[in-house]
Amino acid sequence: MSKTPIDFIGQEVACRTFGRFIIEWQKKGLSLEALVAGSGCSVEDLRNKHARISWASYRAITANARAAWDDDGFVELGMIVMDSPWAKPFTIPARLLYSVNDFYHAMVRPGAGAGIGRQMFTCVAFRLYDVDPSHIVIEATMEDGYRVCREFFLITRGTLISIPTMLGLEMSKVEMEEIDAGVRFDIRLPAGGRTLAGLRRALTRPFRTRAVARELEEAYVELHASHAHLEVEIAERRRVEEEREHLLADLEVNNVELAFRNAELERFTYTVSHDLKTPLVTIKGFLGLVEQDAAKGDTERMQHDIDQIGYAADKMARLLDELLELSRIGRMMNPPVAVSLTDLAHEAVRLVTGPIVARGVAVEIADAMPVVYGDRMRLVQVFQNLIDNAVKFSGHQSDPRIEIGASQKDEEVVCYVRDNGIGIDPRYQEKIFGLFDRLDATGEGTGIGLALVQRIVEMHGGKIWVESAGAGQGSTFYFILPSPP
């Protein structure tokens, strides 16, 4: 367990010790600045009960005090220190006045305002040996990281000698012997009858409290570690629970998506079978007419029938090609790149130049449109289909127009293709994105174009919708695409 330097000033132990240092030092006419020289402390620190002085500083100050005291002088200082309120916890009468809580706070309490016993012995390890009822041996050795301070042990010897006098007994006989990294105190207690047991308790209490303090500290560390482990476990359980909730939410979304795709597949199967069946029926019917016309020798009528068969075959081929293209969306996508919407729009217009010129449609493309992020080829298909759709439904008017533009909105780009054509009744504005859903069954197209556009936009994480005031009011197709990361 790591230890911090012991704090003396602000606590009774060193306050009384340094107080005596100051008094006796000044009696000898010595400078207080010399007492604190090289200790890192000031004279004010010595006088201030709330200052905090490390073990290293304490060693430096007591070393300086050698100018005024020899070994016997430090022992005498320890005896004088015991004649102070500091010694109150060691006395039998005072022990009766102390509650358990008071004793804990005075002697053991950990932390910044540590109790006396804990401060005295944070840096020193003590071992007690009971030789007989009147004979005690205490070995005091420095903890790792602390250097021996002989003066401290001399002062401690003086306190051990003086403790019995507070009980009205003679002084103890205490011998001090240096050992490796510390000292050994050999204590002979005076005769005291019934007070001997109390004397032994009073004499050894401060050393025994260190063991109590250590046990309390170890218990605190263990409790803190258990608490930290519990917090980690709780955090892990929360993470697992959140992950589980996310998985359940994703599963629910996937189930909804799956249900939607199943319904879409069912509609797809029905509509494909219906729309593919129509040209087959047409081909079969006109084959019968060709046979009749050939039998009659009506070559003009037969050519008409063959043209209708060719038209039906072309329509079926177009349906199959667009269905194949629709099935590839999501499975065959090119790596996304940053691409200018202005470039996309111009490229798409070039691909449908024939129909645009044939119907005299004016196309206006906004300048400096934003850059988007996606599959360039698929995005060209989006604009191509929407522009082609606008040309087909421009109606019979003298001034057909198409406008293409876009605007930045946060991290997305809102694009639009607007026309002044025949418009769309609000009742059918969602229906038009369905597969093979055509408002005019006799018109051009296969009914796959807008479904293809919707699939591409959704694969880019966007959405598409149409706005129109109704028949003859034109239409605006809006769709959202992502900005480059």
390-441: per-residue pLDDT in tens? 988 887 778 899 999 999 988 899 999 999 988 888 887 777 776 555 555 4
pLDDT tens-place string over residues 78-122 = 887 665 554 444 444 444 333 334 444 444 444 444 444 444 456
Other C-beta atoms closer than 10 Å to the C-beta of 408 total 13
481: amino acid identity, one letter: L
Residue with tokens 């069946």: 277
What DSSP state is assigned to residue 473?
S
pLDDT at 250 over 80: yes
The rounded distance, in Å, linking the Cα atoms of 75 and 14 is: 15
Average pLDDT, the chain: 76
The contacts found for 374-377 with CB under 8 angstroms, 24 or more apart, are 374/336, 374/337, 374/339, 374/460, 374/481, 374/482, 375/333, 375/334, 375/335, 375/336, 375/456, 375/459, 375/460, 376/334, 376/337, 376/339, 376/344, 377/334
Region 40-60: mean pLDDT is 77
Per-residue pLDDT band at 207 (split at 50, 70, 90): low
Region 194-213: mean pLDDT is 56
pLDDT tens-place string over residues 134-187 = 888 888 888 787 888 888 889 889 888 887 777 677 888 999 999 998 999 998
The radius of gyration of the chain's CA atoms, rounded to the nearest angstrom, is 50
Q: Which residue has the higher pLDDT, 300 or 406?
A: 406
- Angle at CA 138, nearest 5°, toward 134 and 141? 175
DSSP string of 258-321, one letter each residue: HHHHHHHHHHHHHHHHHHHHHHHHHHHHHHHHHHHHHHHT-HHHHHHHHHHHHHHHHHHHHHHH
Dihedral sign of CA atoms 129, 103, 53, 21 in order: negative
**Residues in Cβ contact with 76 at an 8 Å cutoff, skipping those fewer than 6 apart:** 158
pTM check: above 0.85: no
Q: Spell out a b/e string for 165-196, using b for 16 or more CB atoms within 10 Å of the CB, else e.
A: ebbebeebebebeeeeebbbbebebbebeebb
- All structural domains of the chain, each given as residue ranges with its CATH number in brackets, are 12-222 (3.90.1520.10), 334-482 (3.30.565.10)
| pLDDT, position 82 | 63
Region 57-76: mean pLDDT is 86
Tokens representing residue 4 in the block: 């911090």
The rounded distance, in Å, linking the Cα atoms of 180 and 348 is: 93
| pLDDT, position 407 | 92
Tokens representing residue 274 in the block: 């219906």
The contacts found for 208-216 with CB under 8 angstroms, 24 or more apart, are 208/128, 209/107, 209/108, 209/117, 209/118, 209/121, 210/117, 210/118, 210/120, 210/121, 210/126, 212/108, 213/108, 213/110, 213/115, 213/117, 213/118, 213/121, 216/108, 216/110
Give strand ranges (E) for 392-463: 401-409, 412-419
| pLDDT, position 344 | 93
The contacts found for 243-248 with CB under 8 angstroms, 24 or more apart, are none
pLDDT at 7 over 60: no
Dihedral sign of CA atoms 253, 255, 256, 258 in order: positive
Give strand ranges (E) for 56-167: 124-132, 135-142
The rounded distance, in Å, linking the Cα atoms of 332 and 324 is: 11
- Angle at CA 380, nearest 5°, toward 353 and 264? 115
